[in-house]
Every structure is written in C-alpha cells, then in structure tokens.
Amino acid sequence: MRFKERNKKNLTLFIFFLTISSGSCVEASSRSHISKSKIIPAEVSFYEQVLPSLAGKSVVLVTNPSGIGRHPEKILKEFKDKKVKIKHLIGLEHGFLGLEEDFSKSPVTMDETFQLPIYHIYKVKNSEIPAILKGADAIVFDVVDMGMRCYTYLSVLKRLMDNLPDPNTKFILLDHPNPALYLGARGEGIQKKFLNFAGEFPSLFFTGMTLGEAAAFYNGEYLGGKVKLDIISPENLKRGFDWDREGIPWSTPSPNLPMLDSARNYLGLVLLEGVNVSVGRGTQAPFVYFGAPWMNEPEDIISELNEDSKGDYYYQSVFFKPVFGPFKGEICRGLRLTVVNRKYDPIRMAYNLTSIMKKKYKDFKWRQYADGSHNIDFLWGTEKFRESVDAGKTYEEFKASYAESESSTNRLIQKYLIY
C-alpha cells in the first residue's frame, strides 16, 4: 500500500514538473533573444553613415537613455572622432539620464557628463527657443515615444520643429517602434482650451504613428514641409511587429516606465491620472499598481472587472505605499493590472474601469485643478470621457461619439506612414 502511495506521489510530482517545464518552454518561445532580432536600430545607421556626414558641423542633441543617451561615453567618443561639435543639450521631462521624477525648476542647467548647458524646453518660452537653436547645423533627436499625445516627448518635438530659426538646419530623427502602434489613430483630438505641455501635438489621443511618422505628418500638414527632416528608420521594422517575438529590447524612457509591462499598461492606466488615485508612481510597479487609501475591499470589483476584460487582461488585489506622488507615504489598497492580450483596447479598459470604480466607491472623484477644471479633460482632450462616465454611458456609446474622427484621421495619416 505504501509502495502504491509512493508511486502515486512520484507520478503526481512528475506531472507537476512536466507541466512547469512545458509552461516554461511556451513562455520562453514567446520572447526572443535580442541576438535573434532582425530589426536593426536606427542608431546603427546613425553612427555608421549619418554622423560622419556631419563632420565639422555643430549640433543640438536631444536624447535620454531610451535612445543613444544610454551610452554617453560613446556619444562623446564618436562625436569627437567624427569632428562633430555638440553645441548644447535639450532636456526632456525626466532629465538627460531619465532618472528625474519632477521637472527641472530651472530653464537651463549644466550637464555633468557633457559639461554642456542643457535647456529644459518646458521651462522656456516658445519665443526663446530660436535663440537656443541658433547656430546649429543640425538637431539630433533620439528618444522612444509612447505613440500618445499626452506623452510629453511629442510636445518637445513639436516645439523644436515650430521654432527652428534657420530653414537650412537639418532635423535628424532616429525613429523607434512604440507600444501603441498596433492601435492606429484612436480617440479624440484636443480642443484648444485643453492644450497643455502633456497635450500639444495635433493628433488623436493615440497618434497611430511612430515619432518619425508624426514628425513627417506635422511637417507636411502644419509647417508646409519647411523643416529639412531626415528620418533614420530601424531596418526591417514592419507595422504588425510583435515586440517580444521580434526580440526588441525595452529601453526605459522614464522612471515610471521601467518595463515593457508598465508601458503596455500605461496606454490605458494613464487616464486614471485624472482620478483621485495613485497609478503606482513611487512604487516598485508604476502603472501596474493603482489604488488609494479609500479603495477598501478592492476584491469586490475584481470579478466584474475580470469578466468585462474578455480575457485580455486581469486584476488582482494589492497593497502598496508610494514614496512620492499622490498618497505619498500612505498605505493604499488597490489593484494590480496584468495584460494578457498584447493588442488589447486600452481606451475600453480605462473607460470601463473608471465607470466601475465610480459606481462602487463613494470617495471616487475626478481630480481637479485650483480653477475647477478637470485633469482628465486635459488628458483626453475634451470633456467627453468624463461626461460620458458621469452619464452612465456604455463604452460602445462613448466610442461611437468619436468614430468618424478616428476614420478620417486614419485616412489622413496614411501617406505619412513609413512602416
């Protein structure tokens, strides 16, 4: 009898480990090693072909660790070897090293690595930008974008293109794929009264374009083609790419998007920044955790949320304590979002999540500025997201209200698509 029980136990353990091993193989096959990637980053062509053509020239450099900025020593060596002078740097939202949570309080600081001035465009008046760019033979722009109007790197791109003082200045942009490219142009355009640094580019909420395509679109549709735009494209990139299977490494553009999972979740959870919750900034899992001290018994809404997800993602309850941002130092109850379908609908997810939270929690509030305006309206671009949730409209009703805008925008941008 003991022998049979022992054999039964051994068989159970064997099946368990076989299952684990099989699962591991499946998981491993879904994510390729970088060495197997057929996509050659734009920086390869930049260093081999473009940089040598700039010998004797002066450039303004815009980058961070999501681009060539992750290897400043290489920049210093290669630019020096090719006799290309860096006039100064342009600072993006999270600083040259991508480590800063808050905006710089000064319009210009001295970068310690390059020993050069770094101008923080969000602290500089548009009228002052031409003087900053004056004398440059080229602008070199290299960052990973999220493919969303509310991501501030797109606003920096627009401001620089708007304010080039010399029509002969080259604008060299190293292009990258982005996590939202599969969506196409989605959402609404932004109304004039909601224009802000995190919503300045004339696109829908999701641009439907890479940064290079967005630059070509803006140049063609708004600037009459006056910018001498040189887009350096990744080789072999196709629009239907799968980030994991293509072996494309994730390069962190911000301390709040350390992993590709955070970036995928960000596509939808960024809209929760318009609500009185923490979206995990200042935790070990930004844009994976979200919640608030008042979000008691989050398990109560998990079943409804998971059923609504249609298997594209799921939620689990979690505790967390942010070290900065909303509810700094407070214990928050909330949820953890795991995306399963890498091509999910983030607008649907955000809309239904917000609607269910509002229905469940009496302490739910739309985040407001001192003048009474709503943060969510500046994020989305109109009052429609907030007003539709408040009116109890379904996602399908909400989506139908801007469907024609999506169709016309996707037709408009077609001629600017590279991949």
Give pLDDT, residue 18.
37
Give pLDDT, residue 11.
39
Pairing of strands 313-320, 332-339: antiparallel
Give pLDDT, residue 36.
87
Fold of 260-381: Aspartate Aminotransferase, domain 1 (3.90.1150)
CA dihedral 161, 164, 169, 172 (to 10 degrees): -20
Under DSSP, the state recorded for 360 is H
Give pLDDT, residue 122.
85
Query: What residues in the chain have per-residue pLDDT under 50?
Result: 1-29
Span 365-416, pLDDT tens digits: 999 999 999 999 999 999 999 999 999 999 999 999 999 999 999 999 999 9
Give pLDDT, residue 34.
87
What does the DSSP assignment read for 286-334? TTTEEEETT---THHHHHHHHHHTTTSEEEEEEEE--SSSTTTTS-EEE
Span 306-348, pLDDT tens digits: 999 999 999 999 999 999 999 999 999 999 999 999 999 999 9
* Residues composing the chain: 419
Gyration radius from the chain CA atoms: 23
Give pLDDT, residue 2.
44
Distance CA(92)–CA(121), nearest Å, equals 7
- The answer to whether residues 174 and 42 touch, using CB atoms and an 8 Å cutoff, is yes
Fold of 36-243: Rossmann fold (3.40.50)
Q: Identify the CA nearest to 104 among candidates 113, 95, 115, 96.
A: 95
Give pLDDT, residue 19.
39
Taking phi over 0 as left and psi of -120 to 50 as alpha, with beta for the rest, 239 belongs to: alpha
Beta bridge partners of 141: 62, 173
Give pLDDT, residue 103.
64
Give pLDDT, residue 20.
37
Give pLDDT, residue 253.
86
- The answer to whether residues 298 and 253 touch, using CB atoms and an 8 Å cutoff, is no
Tokens linked to 163: 């304010």
Tokens linked to 74: 């290489």
What does the DSSP assignment read for 133-195? HTT-SEEEEE----SBTTSTHHHHHHHHHHT-S-TT-EEEEE----TTGGG-SBS-PPPGGG-
Distance CA(208)–CA(225), nearest Å, equals 20
> Where are the domains positioned within the chain?
36-243, 260-381
Q: pTM here?
A: 0.90
Q: How far is CA 256 from CA 47, 206, 248, 270, 279, in A?
A: 29, 19, 20, 11, 10
